[in-house]
Amino acid sequence: MSLFPSSLETLIDKLASLPGVGAKSAQRLAFHILALSDDDANAFADAIRDAKGSVHRCRLCQNLTDDELCPVCASPRRDSGIVCVVSDPKGALAIERAREYNGVYHVLHGVISPMTGVTPDDLCIRELAHRVASGNVSEVIMATNPDTEGETTARYISRLLAPFGVKITRLAYGIPVGGSLEFADDATLTRALEGRLDY
Amino acid sequence: MSLFPSSLETLIDKLASLPGVGAKSAQRLAFHILALSDDDANAFADAIRDAKGSVHRCRLCQNLTDDELCPVCASPRRDSGIVCVVSDPKGALAIERAREYNGVYHVLHGVISPMTGVTPDDLCIRELAHRVASGNVSEVIMATNPDTEGETTARYISRLLAPFGVKITRLAYGIPVGGSLEFADDATLTRALEGRLDY
């Protein structure tokens, strides 16, 4: 006999379908939600509906927005001639957090991954090619993650964009600031040596 | 400049308010929800509303139910004279899972905890006293968790119920089945010795 009412079981199932949430955690989260006030619980449900209903992709850079253009693309103070290519919105957020970058972004929404069946057609690469083909882009900075799939994706895109004659760069690899040589892996050390700069 | 649309920020905030979900996890969960189909996302929001709207406490045992009585209290096959007292619905679920117990439950919805300001009045102890006072209960089994607060709560309740002359027992302590002496803590070993049985 199931001891929980079916509506509670449904909520637990939904929570357990989230990434990284197991059966026990889902139960704990469901009890937490039941313990919320009616207003708070409804606000939670509304937040899901609202986000899902209003969030879509920026017409230019494909980042998530609830407007036609995302705040970066809409800002007159950003240099729209420099396009930083990231695999997902979190990448753009990380670079934005550093408060150094003044160009715009292009969000691919994934990386090429033969293992999981993600091909270039599944990503927003076509949109990037259109932006570059329009002739208003002077530099494309590849900022996909420094792993195999990120590298493959960056290499694929740089080859695709080569005919347009646009300048293509990538983020520097090296020792993380504040990091220690002792704990740096071989690949990072090799890259740091290769990319050494004059003092 | 916030890079995420406000409805997405709201969803991330709501998710981050869940127990055990940090800022990074909340972001990951929010992106997962945005990637769901419209139907799935709405079903998720509905699950929260439905559970919150329909789940309440069983009139008798205070366990969660969407009916007037929970399935255990409503079952004619359960012995309503034996009441197992648990601190929360998860406790009842755990005992139910063992498929051995044929009595009914009483859910306290918490334990006495001076540290967090939970007093006996905050728990469903009054309802338990009413059940026992009604005269239909022959045995009360204390099954709060074997920690300080659970023990304190069990002792408080057993003293409260003593005047009614009802039989009061508690779950046995001892070495977990399949466990190893080597890894049992001192308190458990002491209790296992004290509670030793004749072969």
More confident residue, A185 or B178: A185
pLDDT of residue A3: 75
CATH number for the domain whose boundaries are A58-170: 3.40.1360.10
| pTM greater than 0.90 (yes/no) | no
Test A54 with B7 for CB contact under 8 angstroms.
Answer: yes
More confident residue, B35 or A193: B35
Phi first, then psi: what are they for A184, rounded to 5°? -80, 140
- Distance from the B191 Cα atom to the nearest Cα atom in chain A, whole angstroms: 28
Q: How many CB pairs under 8 A join A and B?
A: 160
pLDDT of residue B82: 93
Angle (nearest 5°) at CA A156 between A117 and A56: 65
Task: Among A178-192, B1-15, B137-151, name the one with the lowest average pLDDT.
Answer: A178-192
CB atoms within 10 A of CB A22: 11
pLDDT of residue B185: 78
Strand-pairing partners, residue A57, are: A64
Residue B1 has pLDDT above 60, yes or no: no
Query: pLDDT tens per residue, chain A (199 residues)?
Result: 567 889 999 999 999 999 999 998 999 999 999 989 999 999 999 999 999 999 999 999 999 999 899 999 999 999 999 999 999 998 888 888 878 889 999 999 999 999 999 999 999 999 999 999 998 999 999 888 888 888 899 999 999 999 998 999 888 777 777 766 677 777 777 777 777 766 6
- Distance from the A194 Cα atom to the nearest Cα atom in chain B, whole angstroms: 33
Q: Give the tokens for residue B10.
A: 């709201």
Residue B41 has pLDDT above 80, yes or no: yes
CATH 1.10.8.420, applies to A6-54: yes
Q: Which residues of B touch A91 (CB under 8 A)?
A: none
pLDDT of residue B130: 94
Contact in structure between B58 and B64 (CB atoms under 8 Å): yes
Chain B residue closest in CA terms to A45: B45
pLDDT of residue A104: 95
pLDDT of residue A156: 95
What stretch of H or E contains A150? helix A148-161
pLDDT of residue A107: 96
| Sign of the torsion angle spanned by Cα atoms A37, A41, A47, A49 | negative
Q: Give the tokens for residue B97.
A: 């899972």
Q: Where are the domains of chain B?
A: 6-54, 58-170
Phi first, then psi: what are they for B79, rounded to 5°? -85, 105
Chain B residue closest in CA terms to A75: B1
Task: Among A22-26, B39-43, B60-64, B172-176, name the one with the lowest average pLDDT.
Answer: B172-176
pLDDT of residue B61: 95
Q: Give the tokens for residue B33.
A: 């929800």
Chain A residue closest in CA terms to B77: A1
Strand ranges (E), chain B: 56-57, 64-65, 79-86, 103-107, 139-142, 167-170
Over residues B69-128, the pLDDT tens digits come to: 999 999 999 999 999 999 999 888 888 887 888 999 999 999 999 999 999 999 999 999
Test B28 with A19 for CB contact under 8 angstroms.
Answer: yes
Test A45 with B45 for CB contact under 8 angstroms.
Answer: yes
Q: What is the ipTM of this complex?
A: 0.73
Query: What DSSP string runs through A81-114?
Result: EEEEEESSHHHHHHHHHTT---EEEEE-SS--BG
Confidence of residue B193 (pLDDT cuts 50, 70, 90): confident
Residues in chain B: 199
Nearest of A137, A139, A110, A128 to residue A60 by alpha carbon: A128
